Amino acid sequence: MALAPSRRKSAKARILDIVRWVAILAVVGFAVNALVSHWDEFWHTLSDVAWQSSLLSLLALVAAIMVSTYGWQVMVDDLGAPIGYARGAQICLVGSLGKYVPGSVWAYLLQMELGRKAGLARARIFTASLIQLGVGVVSALVVSLLAAPAVFSNSPRALWLFVLIPVGLAMLHPKVLTWGTSLVLRILRRAPLEHPLGWPVVGKVFGASTAAWALQGVHLWLLANSVGAPGLDGFVLCVGAMAVSMTVGTFAFILPSGVGVREVAQVAVLTASGLTVGQATAFAVASRVMFTLADLLTAGGAAVAARAGSSRALTSA
């Protein structure tokens, strides 16, 4: 009789494992579909770009994703026992593929489920993602000031983005951020933060987000500069353009990974830097495909690295 609960638990665990794998395969399928659907246009655009620029542009995106993941892992570690970068990357990067499913909430749900599989409370994963999202948006708003002239000239209504900057910076104060996060958690009927946030962790998350925006700007600049339009002056605009477009895409949560919204912002800034509308549109589409490719590469690499680490741990034990 004592073995029955164990069998039930084992059966439940097997069912959950199957559900997780089905969810992972589903989101990977959506991501691959997004990659394939734009592949011809993507390849046509890159045919005019030096292969060195294309490769470096992709590497800049991979670096941006890994840096952003570090910020997420720092936040998770602050909320409990450290999990390490390899395990954190597996949870964050594989889970983030859920953004390719319409309704970007799937990314957070998958991250929570993967975290639970790794022995972490779902609330801890959700809280870390919530805080990183908020800090990342404020960082993007600050960086987007670099593209303010181009944004205002093409879309005067974008003024509301920059009005939010003082409010966002005030919200980054650890006491205010702790209060705001605990308030959201209480509204969602979750336990508030166990300890207040500190400047070191907020600073690391903000710094990682800012570095990620800068690397994404490098990615876009390497593509656009290949046709000789932006030059060094356009580099600043490209960094600001990525921050603006990713922020707008984040709020377009109904769409898979902010599809369409992000490209509009990129085209607006790229045309202001000297590209034609056709060139800017082509590079915006190429950028989206490269983002998808970088997401798949980093998620796959993180999953393999984490599994290899687990195998080594079992062998040594």
pLDDT in tens, the chain (317 residues): 343 444 445 665 555 555 555 555 655 565 566 556 555 655 566 667 777 888 999 999 999 999 999 999 999 999 999 998 989 999 999 888 888 776 667 788 889 988 988 889 989 999 999 999 999 989 988 888 887 766 666 555 666 666 778 888 999 999 999 999 999 888 888 888 888 999 999 999 999 999 999 999 999 888 887 766 566 677 888 888 888 777 776 665 544 544 556 677 777 777 766 677 777 777 887 888 888 889 989 988 888 876 666 555 545 55
Q: What pLDDT is recorded for position 158? A: 60
- CA 96 to centroid of chain Cα atoms: 7
Ordered by start, the domain boundaries in the chain are 18-35+48-304
Dist CA 98 CA 109 (whole Å): 8
Q: Are 274 and 229 in contact (CB under 8 A)?
A: yes
Query: In sequence order, which ranges of 118-172 are alpha helices (DSSP H)?
Result: 122-143, 148-154, 159-171
Q: What is the pTM of this model?
A: 0.81
Residue 103 region by backbone torsions, left for phi larger than 0, else alpha for psi between -120 and 50, else beta: left
- CA 1 to centroid of chain Cα atoms: 48
Amino acid at 208: A
Q: What pLDDT is recorded for position 10? A: 61
CA distances from 297 to 58, 113, 303 (A): 10, 21, 10
Burial class from Cβ neighbours inside 10 Å (0-12, 13-18, 19+) for residue 184 reads: middle
DSSP string, 19-59: HHHHHHHHHHHHHHHHHHHTHHHHHHHHTTS-HHHHHHHHH
Q: Are 275 and 224 in contact (CB under 8 A)?
A: yes
